[in-house]
A = this chain, B = another copy of it.
Amino acid sequence: MTLLETLAPLLGPGALLTDPVDMAPWVRDWTGRYVSTPLAVARPATTAQVSAVVAACHATGTPVVPVSGHTGLNGGASAMGGLVLSLDRLCAIRDIDAAARTATVEAGVILSRLHDAAADHDLIFPLTFGARGSAMIGGVLSTNAGGSNVLRYGNTRDLVLGLTAVMADGRVMDLSGRLHKDNSGLNLKHLLIGAEGSLGIITAATVKLFQRPRAYATAMVAAASLPAALTLLHRMQDATGGAVEAFEYMPATYIARHLAVIAGAKAPFAHPHDVNILIEVGATAPRDATPLADGSLPVVALLQDTLAQMMDEGLVLDAVVAQTEAQRRTMWARREAAAEVMFAMQPFVDTDVALALPDVATFMAEAKRRLLILDPAATDIAVAHLGDGNVHYTACPSRDDPALIAAIREMVEDVVQDLSGSFSAEHGIGLSKLGSMTRRKDPVALDAMRAIKAALDPHNILNPGKTIPQ
């Protein structure tokens, strides 16, 4: 009996796709860079079915590529001849416990559905990013997704209390639960989160929910410099007890490109500035969100006072505080257009680097300096989760020359490595950064990853050829 003959009855009617027309949604990802060639697409509906499918693949040595929302940027869900195991039918929100502030969800739940479900209880699942309407929990966990609210709430791994995963031999590993402390042996939860399906397939998880902020204070700020911006971040963190939810940096080049590319875009300030910051503070305390006698909100007053003080000190050059939800939305739209703004530049070399916060300014200057040595006619543009030290730096070379593009990528990674940064902050490795892993990751760490992979997946069937370079 072939593998597909084994799988069909396991999955039931219509859940094993082999016709190219049926498989089309799993073939092309939204970046357009990675075309999948699946052997077939299996769509199990339960963890038990995932287990049975993986066990059958284990027995036959067939590669299994877990796919959920298919919104990754690095080709991590590319099939390359393997069986696509789509998690989209494991889509139950099993439980929301408002008192304990937890949600238990399956891997195929779309992120924005979880947002909505939490909102019904006046709670939030804080992790969010542009692809929230398509990305699913399985991929969110497998890539340890980041986004704009990491500053306050942490990366995905910080939000996960427990999970269930199917291991390479098909056995189900039960790390479920909703415990805030658990020191029972090696931490396998953190090993599976961010492993991009290379060690096990996460089928369900329990995540933390948080109180929904009652109000926001949001502003566009022109800081005098990046260090001055960090001063603003620290002052607002201290003033609010750590309630800064987002601190996003857009240099002048980004603002200019945004104005050029996006129809109807408006400049944030009357005059261009170098260091444009979108800051947002979430007010969870009633006293911060209860209007004062003049109708203003205390959390907004706090931000305004801090900005006024910093203008007096020359650390802030200009600032606009959102007075309405529409103004707030406009500020966020400017930031969330990043993918569109970047993709409008051709050719481009996009990156996703992490630096210690004080090193961001050095990185920006040094990358630009070296870029112009490689290609005097090149430009660059960036957008950054500055509060996390996470810069999406994009170089735009003057010609579409593969050797030049490779040299630029190498140059950016050199600058990052000199500053003890990371070449992958939040997007992960997948296929596209395997070379960076080989060149940049500590060789002892690489050997440890290879040893763990071989130990947990001896037949190398789980998303093989990705994440960990051979």
Report which A residues bind B (CB closer than 8 A): 97, 99-100, 102, 143-144, 146, 150, 154-155, 157-158, 167, 171-188, 190-191, 193-195, 198-199, 211, 230, 237-243, 283-288, 302, 354-358, 385, 388-390, 420-429, 433, 436-437, 440-442, 444-449, 451-456, 467-468
- Chain B residues contacting A424 (CB-CB under 8 Å) are 182-184
Closest Cβ of chain B to A463, distance in Å, is: 13
A187-B157, A452-B455 known; A426-B355 Cβ under 8 A: no
Q: How far is the CA of A342 from the CA of B175 in the complex (A)?
A: 31
Asked whether A456 and B449 contact (CB < 8 A) given A195-B186, A241-B285, the answer is: no
Contact B184 A155 (CB under 8 A): no
Assuming A143-B183, A181-B422, A186-B453, what are 11 further A-B pairs, CB within 8 angstroms? Answer: A97-B358, A144-B183, A150-B180, A183-B426, A185-B449, A185-B467, A186-B448, A188-B449, A238-B286, A242-B284, A452-B456
Given A97-B358, A177-B421, A179-B425, A185:B441 Cβ within 8 A: yes
CA distance A234 to B357 in the complex (A): 32
Q: A468 near B185 (CB under 8 angstroms)? A: yes
Q: How far is the CB of A202 from chain B (nearest CB, A)?
A: 14
Candidates B185, B230, B447, B455; contact of A445 at CB < 8 Å: B185
In the bound complex, CA of A342 to CA of B150 (Å): 41
Given A444-B167, A444-B171, A452-B456: A356 touches B177 (CB 8 Å cut-off):
yes
Among B143, B182, B357, B429, which residue has its beta carbon within 8 angstroms of that of A425? B182
Which residue of chain B lies nearest to A200 when distances are taken between CB atoms in the complex?
A: B448
**A354: B residues at CB distance < 8 A:** 179-182
CB distance from A226 to the nearest CB of B (A): 12
Top 8 A-B pairs, shortest CB-CB distance: A190-B190, A455-B455, A451-B455, A181-B425, A173-B444, A182-B422, A179-B354, A174-B442
**Alpha-carbon gap, A424 to B179, bound state (A):** 11
Assembled-state Cα–Cα distance A389/B179 (Å): 7
- Complex: A185 Cα to B448 Cα, angstroms: 11
Q: Which of B302, B420, B441 contacts A184 (CB 8 A)?
A: B441
- Distance, CA A136 to CA B193, complexed state (A): 29
- Closest B residue to A151 by CB, please name it: B180
Q: List 14 A-B contacts (CB under 8 A).
A: A100-B356, A143-B183, A144-B183, A171-B444, A176-B420, A177-B421, A181-B354, A181-B385, A184-B423, A184-B437, A185-B449, A241-B241, A241-B242, A241-B284
Cβ of A237 to closest chain B Cβ, rounded Å: 7
Q: How far is the CB of A193 from chain B (nearest CB, A)?
A: 7
Chain B residues lying within 8 Å of A187, measured Cβ to Cβ, are 144, 157, 190-191, 193-195
Which of A144, A190, A193 has its CB near the most chain B CB atoms (within 10 A)? A190
Which residue in chain B gives the minimum CB-CB distance to A437? B185
CB distance from A451 to the nearest CB of B (A): 4
Contact partners of A186 in chain B: CB under 8 A: 191, 194-195, 198-199, 448-449, 452-453, 467-468
